[in-house]
Chains A and B, each alone.
Chain A
Amino acid sequence: MSSRPEFQAPPEIFYNETEARKYTSSSRIVEIQSKLSERALELLDLPNDGVPRLLLDIGCGSGLSGETLSENGQQWIGLDISDSMLDVALEREVEGDLLLSDMGQGLGFRDGVIDGAISISAVQEFDLFSVFDKQWLCNADKSSHVPRLRLKAFFGSLYRCLARGAKAVFQMYPESVAQRELILGYAMRAGFSGGVVVDYPHSTKARKEYLFLTCGPPSMSLALPKAVVEDGESCSEDENGSDGDNQTVNSRSVMLKNISFCLYYRTHQLYQIRCLGQCISYISLWILNKLLVRISDRQRPSKRQKTTKKGKGKGWILKKKEQMRKKGNAVPNDTKYTGRKRKTHF
């Protein structure tokens, strides 16, 4: 768990000069990053007319994803919070412009000027989640880093600066269902419509999640892009086409699965909570009952012997004496004085 960089330190500190260089010189990371950004660009589904668009690369880092954008002939502006990363990007002579900016503070762009946004592995860096759960968009390392406010500022400003109908694709590794829901929730609240596209949903390693957002109200005609599923095996009932190596699954069904999973998760939790609640209430009731019985026992008046002014009488005494004799006890003989009242003196 601590191997994830967002758990170790805030991004502007974690990505110091050495980390930034390490990040960019690792060929594996470079490869993964360019693959992810290509896929994100594909999901962005820009019109294929050869005209460059103005895109945002949020959390551009050393410009690895920006390079993919340039290769595809797009114009882009990159934002990042780590100046060491941006220095590396400068050295690599990326084509886009770079800004040192914190996405949790909101994006400072004019309204409706950006044609699309991508973000590779940065939204979780926005750890907006909670003070205890640290990821970076949800980062809560400083007092001003109230995650929810940061998410709100980010998605609000993003919605404003995107042109109507523009799309935004965020590749992310959400930590939990709750975090994904939180991020998605804030995106929806900002006015976006869209959902999560899960590539390779059955693989833990290759599984990639893309938050796909469209600027504007949801429309029935809006089709979510398709998710990629690993070849062969386990793609189960959702298979659309069995041709070739990459089989595609309708991401809507993936989404639905996701949602139903969430629902199941929730109801399950609720059910558990209810069961637990019932148990607790039964137990407490039982304990309470016990206590009450005991208290009432203690408080109940003890049986008083029935006494009259005359006393028990000679018959009662003779009866008792007889009982004691039967038990084998030494009992004085019955005489004319037995059970007789003493005479009053004076």
Chain B
Amino acid sequence: MRLLTHNMLSSNIKGVTNGFPLGIIIDKSTQIEVEINTDFLKTMFSKIDWKALVDAATLMGYSDLPEEVDESMLESEELLNKFHHALLELHLEEGALICPETGRRFPVSKGIPNMLLHEDEI
């Protein structure tokens, strides 16, 4: 699972008002290189929650992202490369996602988070 997906996911449990961002427990992570597409990064930038991305990337062992970013900094290629690496190349393979409100674990295996809810959580 890429951090892009992590940045989009939120906990869906009944009664949870703010299920974002999900905490991450890492047992195993990988990096897969993909081609950079600056247009995509620029359009995605407005949708990304930057703080959550920085926190997640730090947890995954990549702490090169700056804390604060604004639209004008996107022109720099260096930042775009970092952004690209954090967003699309870091993969969580094994571990879990944690709901910030209830602490419920969503296990991640083979890169697939299990977001199925129990009957009492719907």
Contact = CB atoms under 8 A, between A and B. Distances in A.
Q: Do A and B bind each other?
A: yes
A109 B117 contact: no
A50 B43 CA distance: 12
Given A51-B40, A75-B40, A105 B117 contact: yes
B119 A100 contact: no
Nearest to A144: B119
A142 B118 CA distance: 12
A184 interface: no
A109 B10 contact: yes
Interface stretch (B56-64, B73-81, B106-114): B106-114
B19 interface: yes
B112 A86 contact: yes
B115 A100 contact: yes
A143 B8 contact: no
Contact of A98 (B4, B39, B111, B119): B111
B47 A113 contact: yes
A247 interface: no
B29 interface: no
Given A108-B19, A144-B119, A144-B122, A99 B12 contact: no
A98 B2 CA distance: 10
A52 B112 contact: no
Contacts of A105: 12, 116-117, 122
28 contacts: A49-B39, A50-B39, A51-B40, A52-B39, A52-B40, A53-B43, A54-B44, A75-B4, A77-B5, A83-B112, A87-B110, A97-B5, A99-B112, A101-B115, A102-B116, A102-B117, A105-B116, A105-B117, A105-B122, A108-B11, A108-B19, A108-B115, A109-B8, A109-B9, A109-B10, A110-B49, A113-B8, A153-B122
Interface of A: 49-54, 75, 77, 81, 83, 86-87, 90, 97-102, 105-110, 112-114, 142-144, 153, 157, 161, 163
